């Protein structure tokens, strides 16, 4: 799904307006001229007062599924692999931002949700991290955003949830990492490993590449500092960490750097490097990417299943016409074989001759993905439809041993979208000024018609957006976008370009170009069946 391409120049104007708007927010934040609604200190104090009124744990049985959200956490109960624990997250409706502090427990077998309310709960947050170990869930960091996004607060608090009693406890221990969000946490034996993240100081955004360890036996923090001259990943947030035996892998991420020119503008960087950390020596080494790695993307999800890491989703922004950007949201699966360190596309094995409609989650970012009993669970996240952010609440499952089909447990629901009128008012003013001129010609009429068409597409109701997400309707202007999207997919090395010959490409050239892909696909298809993989030879 991509943003609608407009005429060259319109994308630039919109970007400039958004930049000016963001700069205005920054100035107001720095000058502390914020509305009562955006007074984060007051908001958090009120939340704390409400929490103090709670005297006992309250469990509400068989409640509706959680509301749409992204940047939440989803954990497998360590002592019951058919139960998922969901906490926090955020939702943006086009006008206001809502940050959640609710705790849900989901029974996969019964398809039932429980809503837990406990005294002394953590304040609402998103972009935090959670780790499950024994009978507890550990949560660190995250952020709280005011409704108008004028202010936000980064946390450095550390919490423990007892899954037997549903009681929270804040762990006030010395040496914890500084406040941040967008970091990542993994469990290695009896230790929690935290790396990276970012912190917004209002004047600048600071990205981290520090490494912290929490010993779950001794309940102590330790910062691991790099030795002089050693290799170390650069600062970043939004990457992924995953553990295999005595190695901790780091892949991807996002950061910003200040341009060298005098403007002081910032440029976003999407990382695609792969690192391995030895937790016995705390030494990093850079890993060469082999096989068929995923194309460049940000905000993807990853989880571990046996000897492989599984990657889903993400987004890439591509310049498709002049200064117009198209955001392509991915819904493909990639595998990383942990013992051989090879990447490959993960293809479903469902019989293509079936007449049943193939179910597949829509492309998205910032979703939750976990594995329990060989089953992958994918929840929530965010995508865009015609420049509108659609926050999801759907739940999918995929048997990773069979790799036969995605199953939709909970379909996406409709959620409210309230368009901010400032940009539209500016565009209306521009149109009125243009129409009031006496020298309007056919070109102006054409532009007016296209603007009207733009407005019509912007006015698409959310019911249609959900239909698009579910695949019930064709994408808007799909014929016009198909060629551009295909070019993007080929340039990114996505799976379709590996399975299908290019226009005018002979079969001999096609098999020569995709030989490695088919070898990896054959290996992936037969590794669970015991059959012998055959190399394709010309």
Query: How many CB atoms lie under 10 A from the CB of residue 162?
Result: 13
Angle (CA) 476 481 485, round 5°? 125
pTM to 2 decimals?
0.78
Residue 211, pLDDT score: 98
CATH class of the domain at 31-410:
mainly beta
How far apart (Å, rounded) are the C-alpha atoms in residues 213 and 223? 6
Residues of the chain with CATH 2.120.10.80: 31-410
Q: How far apart are CA 49 and CA 43, in angstroms?
A: 10
Share of the chain above pLDDT 90, in %: 55
Write down the pLDDT at residue 352.
55
User: Quick one: which of 409, 412, 415 has its CA closest to 470?
Assistant: 412
Other CB atoms within a 10 A radius of the CB of residue 21 amount to 13
Nearby residues of 123 by Cβ (< 8 Å), 6 or more positions away = 44, 47, 48, 51, 101, 144, 155
Give pLDDT tens digits for 136-174.
999 999 999 999 888 889 999 999 999 999 999 999 999
Sign of CA dihedral 499, 505, 507, 508: negative
Q: Give the pLDDT confidence score for residue 325 in this predicted structure.
A: 72
- Three-state secondary structure call for residue 59: strand
441-463 pLDDT per residue, tens: 444 444 444 443 443 333 334 44
369: alpha, beta or left, given left = phi > 0 and alpha = psi -120 to 50?
beta
Q: Name the nearest CA neighbour of 37 among 145, 176, 113.
A: 145
The β-bridge partners of 286 are 275
Q: How far apart are CA 373 and CA 80, in angstroms?
A: 10
Q: Please state whether 495 falls in left (phi above 0), alpha (psi between -120 and 50) or beta.
A: alpha
**Mean pLDDT for the stretch of residues 373-384:** 95
**Nearest-angstrom CA–CA distance, 290 and 516:** 10
* DSSP H helix total and E strand total for the chain: 9, 30
Kindly state the percentage of the chain with pLDDT values over 70.
70
Could you tell me how far CA 426 lies from the centroid of its own chain?
Answer: 31
Average pLDDT over residues 512-516: 72
């Amino acid at each position: 799904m991509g943003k609608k391409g407009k005429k060259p120049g319109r994308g630039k104007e919109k970007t400039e307006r958004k930049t000016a708007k963001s700069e205005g927010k920054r100035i107001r934040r720095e000058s502390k001229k914020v509305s009562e609604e955006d007074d984060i200190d007051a908001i958090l104090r009120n939340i704390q007062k409400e929490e103090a009124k709670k005297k006992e744990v309250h469990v509400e049985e068989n409640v509706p599924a959680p509301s749409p959200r992204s940047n939440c956490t989803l954990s497998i109960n360590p002592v019951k692999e058919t139960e998922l624990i969901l906490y926090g997250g955020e939702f943006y409706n086009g006008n206001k931002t809502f940050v959640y502090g609710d705790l849900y427990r989901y029974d996969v077998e019964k398809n039932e949700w429980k809503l837990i309310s406990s005294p002394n709960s953590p304040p609402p947050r998103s972009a935090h991290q959670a780790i499950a170990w024994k009978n507890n869930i550990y949560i660190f960091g995250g952020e709280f955003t005011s409704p108008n996004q004028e202010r936000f607060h980064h946390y450095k608090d550390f919490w423990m949830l007892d899954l037997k009693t549903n009681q929270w406890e804040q762990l006030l221990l010395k040496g914890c990492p500084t406040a941040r969000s967008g970091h990542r946490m993994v469990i290695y034996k009896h230790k929690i490993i935290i790396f990276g993240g970012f912190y917004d100081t209002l004047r600048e955004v600071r990205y981290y590449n520090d490494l912290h360890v929490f010993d779950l036996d001794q309940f102590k923090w330790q910062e691991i500092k790099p030795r002089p001259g050693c290799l170390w990943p650069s600062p970043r947030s939004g990457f992924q960490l995953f553990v295999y035996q005595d190695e901790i892998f780091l892949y991807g991420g996002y950061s910003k750097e200040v341009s060298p020119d005098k403007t002081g503008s910032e440029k976003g960087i999407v990382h695609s490097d792969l690192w391995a950390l030895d937790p016995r020596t705390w030494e990093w080494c850079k890993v060469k990417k082999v096989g068929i790695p995923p194309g460049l993307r940000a905000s993807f999800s990853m989880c571990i299943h046996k000897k492989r890491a599984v990657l889903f989703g993400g987004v890439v922004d591509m310049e498709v016409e002049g200064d117009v950007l198209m955001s392509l949201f991915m819904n493909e699966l990639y595998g990383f074989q942990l013992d051989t360190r090879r990447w490959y596309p993960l293809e479903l094995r469902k019989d293509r001759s079936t007449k049943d409609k193939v179910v597949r989650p829509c492309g998205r970012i910032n979703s939750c993905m976990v594995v329990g009993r060989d089953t992958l669970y994918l929840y929530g996240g965010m995508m865009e439809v015609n420049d509108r952010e659609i926050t999801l609440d759907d739940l999918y499952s995929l048997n990773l041993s069979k790799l036969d089909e995605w199953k939709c447990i909970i379909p996406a629901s409709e959620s409210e979208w309230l368009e901010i009128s400032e940009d539209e008012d500016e565009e209306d003013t521009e149109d009125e000024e243009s129409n009031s001129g006496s020298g309007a010609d056919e070109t102006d009429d054409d532009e007016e018609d296209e603007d009207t068409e733009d407005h019509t597409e912007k006015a698409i109701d959310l019911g249609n957006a959900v239909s698009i997400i579910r695949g019930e309707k064709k994408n808007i202007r799909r014929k016009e976008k198909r060629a551009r999207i295909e070019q993007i997919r080929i340039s990114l090395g996505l799976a379709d370009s590996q399975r299908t010959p290019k226009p005018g490409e002979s079969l001999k050239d096609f098999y020569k170009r995709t030989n490695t892909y088919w070898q990896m696909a054959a290996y992936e298809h037969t590794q669970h069946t015991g059959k012998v993989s055959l190399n394709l030879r010309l």
